[in-house]
A and B are shown apart, each in its own frame.
Chain A
Amino acid sequence: MHAYANPARFLKIARPLTGLLGLVGGTMLILCVAYGVLFGPADYLQGETVRIMYIHVPAAWLGMAGWSGIAVASAMQLIWRHPLAGVAGRACALPGAVFAAICLATGSIWGRPTWGTWWEWDGRLTSMLVLFFLYLAYMALSRAEREADGETSGEGRMTAIFGLIGAINLPIIHYSVLWWRTLHQGQSISVMKGSSIDASMLWPLLGAAVGASLLFGAIVLMRMRAELADTKLEMRMRRLAAL
């Protein structure tokens, strides 16, 4: 991992990878969602509304994956002082927040015909809403810390510590459906127990999840490249100002 600590070496790989991930991920996401929505079967219990699943579930996974990325990057920043870790953590924040927001919005829309309510303060919904607010707080803290330090990358210890502390919410989201059984359904896909979803729905769902993940990766790379370029510009400006 330290081999990619050099921004020049990182950019050499990130440049071709950004387009590749974006193109493959975007195409896969569109095709799998379109297949699921247009040709997938309706659910025996939930009817047509089950088609919301093809965006809701990947959005939920990526909302959580985004914060996992922040937590790992924060740990790398605090323990090994990896120079790109802070940049990577900050790059995960906006896409994570958008996917968490999509998960909340589509879940609410799905809840109205299924549960008869737009919102319920159950464990899964509330912990996901907390995750969304954590993203907003992380972005605000990151911006405030960078303005206070007068730096665009490298530092940001408070933000990194917040990123690690916020990860406590991830197991709460995951186990919320087991700890507090209210309206949200339990796990349908498990690594240990397999899936209770029919294959005709499962494959487009997994395809959409993989496509959305690749697209997420492309967005993170775009944001990292933007921050690295901004940093380079700012350093140049400072050098000129010092002359």
Chain B
Amino acid sequence: MNQWDFVIAAYGVSVPALGWLVLVSFNQMRRAEQAVDEMMRGRK
């Protein structure tokens, strides 16, 4: 097998995993903080 195939496979695994981690963490933060903002607006 071509050595580049292994390089591509390694980044093919890493990039989606990192992207998933960033997206999940960002969405959880945004959703939770939006809910708090709505709660605070409701109190006012």
Please give the residue numbers on chain A whose beta carbons come within 8 Å of chain B beta carbons, in ascending order. 18, 22, 26, 33, 37, 47-49, 51-52, 55-56, 59, 94-95, 98, 101-102, 105-106, 109-110, 112-113, 215, 219, 222-223, 225-227, 229-230, 232-233, 236
Q: Please determine whether A233 and B39 come into contact, CB atoms closer than 8 angstroms.
A: yes
What are 24 residue pairs bridging A and B, where the CB atoms are less than 8 Å apart in the complex? A48-B4, A55-B14, A94-B21, A102-B17, A105-B17, A106-B10, A106-B13, A106-B14, A109-B10, A109-B13, A113-B6, A219-B22, A219-B25, A222-B29, A223-B28, A226-B25, A226-B29, A226-B33, A229-B29, A229-B32, A229-B35, A229-B36, A233-B32, A233-B36
Please give the residue numbers on chain B whose beta carbons come within 8 Å of chain A beta carbons, in ascending order. 1, 3-4, 6-7, 9-11, 13-14, 17-18, 20-22, 24-26, 28-29, 31-33, 35-36, 39
Q: Please determine whether A229 and B25 come into contact, CB atoms closer than 8 angstroms.
A: no
Nearest CB in chain B to that of A212: its residue: B18
Q: Please determine whether B22 and A226 come into contact, CB atoms closer than 8 angstroms.
A: no
Complex Cα–Cα for A110 and B4 (A): 11
Nearest CB in chain A to that of B32: its residue: A229
Q: Please determine whether B13 and A22 come into contact, CB atoms closer than 8 angstroms.
A: no
Complex Cα–Cα for A77 and B24 (A): 26
Complex Cα–Cα for A222 and B23 (A): 10
Q: How far apart are A112's CB and chain B's nearest CB, in angstroms?
A: 7
Residues of A contacting B9 in the complex (Cβ-Cβ under 8 angstroms): 109
The secondary-structure label for the interface of chain A is: helix
Additional pairs, 10, CB under 8 Å, beyond known A98-B17, A106-B13, A219-B21: A26-B22, A56-B10, A105-B14, A109-B9, A222-B29, A223-B25, A225-B32, A226-B32, A230-B32, A233-B32
Q: How far apart are B15's CB and chain A's nearest CB, in angstroms?
A: 9
